[in-house]
Amino acid sequence: MKTLIIAEHDGQNLKGATLSAVTAATKLGGAVDVLLAGASVAGIATQAAAVSGVDRVLTVEDAALEHTLAEFVAPVAQQLAGDYTHVILGASTFGKDIAPRVAALCGVNQISEVIEVVDADTFKRPIYAGNAIATVKSNDSLKVMTVRGTAFAAADTGGSAAIEAASATVPAAKVRFVGAEVSESDRPELESAGIVVSGGRGVGSKEDFAKVFELADKLGAAVGASRAAVDSGFVPNDMQVGQTGKMVAPKLYIAVGISGAIQHLAGMKDSATIVAINKDEEAPIFNIADYGLVGDLHDILPELVSKV
């Protein structure tokens, strides 16, 4: 048993999804190596080497790897994958972009969004927007998989892995990075925040969403949204919590003006404590909320902000 983790980073820091991947790998047992592909990764390699459970950090540096595009990263991973039984990535947009391309290059299938490792070949994963949990067995010699961050806690630091340069060639590809628009925010990252405040269509407008942000800032929380709020143009899509958006499992999730569509519940039902604020007392969100408050959010939110 030997696992290769394809690390996600932004050129400066290792991303949280990779720490969850390390935890999933340690559940398999065996050696755990981390592939760090980028333009210049010395600093990140030190971070990866300090993650508990990692045996080796393999670095591949090339200017073409700067923006970690799948067309460059996947062939590098494929060249190294021959030594491993498992290749694991976090189920972030980075992992979802790259893992299937690695699997196809290796001629194997891929297992997406694993939430439980049953044994080395068998895994549990949600299907149908989380309305069913499938147990699947892979008969491929190499298992390429993505793991859901909410199901595997981030690995701690305290490790002291060896850092080695790996030899892999980066092929040419007919793709160029044009630019990125990073959502600037002082708030915590949605997927790793301890508290998340989410707004739905009931918030009413883009302007009224300011009340949701205000409560989040008072609590030091990240801000999420339902698909309905995103579709209504209140907030950008990267704030969407749900089956087609982000999966979160904070200690406190406050759903404001969210009715509780199945697709939204799939993204937050693993939260430790759920609060629902909605004027419709029949809203399905109350069926899963630990604490429900029926009323007009436009009155409740300012009162909450002033009192917490």
Partner 1 sequence: MKALVAVKRVIDYNVKVRVKADNTDVDLANTKMSINPFCEIAVEEAVRLKEAGVVSEIVVVSIGDKSCQEQMRYAMALGADRGIQVEAEGKVNSLDVARILAKVNESENADILLLGKQAIDSDNNQTGQMLAALLDVPQATFASEVKIADGKAQVTREVDGGLVTVEMDLPALVTTDLRLNEPRFAALPKIMQAKRKPLEVKTVADLGVELTNSIELLSVETPAERSGGIKVDSVDALIDKLRNEAQVI
Q: Identify residues 55-94 at the interface with partner 1 (CB under 8 A).
A: 67, 69-71, 74, 92-94
Task: Please report whether residue 135 would count as binding partner 1 according to CB under 8 A.
Answer: yes
169 is a contact residue toward partner 1 (CB under 8 A): no
Token pair listed for 83: 């030594």
| Interaction between residue 262 and partner 1 (CB under 8 A) | yes
Q: Which stretch binds partner 1 (CB under 8 A): 25-33, 44-52, 197-205, 290-298?
A: 290-298
Rounded Cα distance between 25 and 120, Å, is 10
Residue 56 CB, nearest approach to partner 1 (Å): 26
CA 89 to chain centre: 10
Nearest to 130 by CA among 225, 24, 267, 258: 267
Size of the site for partner 1 (CB under 8 A): 87
Instruction: Tell me whether residue 181 is exposed, middle or buried, using C-beta atoms within 10 angstroms of its C-beta: 0 to 12, 13 to 18, 19 or more.
Output: exposed
| Relative orientation angle of helices 70-81 and 93-106, to the nearest 10 degrees | 50
Residues 63, 162, 165, 272: which binds partner 1 (CB under 8 A)? 272
Cβ distance to partner 1 smaller for residue 36 or 197: 197
Contacting partner 1 within 5-64 (CB under 8 A): none
Residues of span 189-218 touching partner 1 by CB under 8 A: 189, 191, 195
Interacting residues of 153 by C-beta distance below 8 A, sequence separation 6+: 20, 23
Is residue 219 a contact residue for partner 1 (CB under 8 A)? yes
- Let me know the angle formed at the C-alpha of 46 by 69 and 172, rounded to the nearest 5 degrees: 25
Of 33-41, 55-63, 156-164, 173-181, which part binds partner 1 (CB under 8 A)?
173-181
Q: Which of 66, 116, 140, 214 binds partner 1 (CB under 8 A)?
A: 140
CA distance 271 to 247: 10
* Shortest distance, position 156 Cβ to partner 1, whole Å: 22
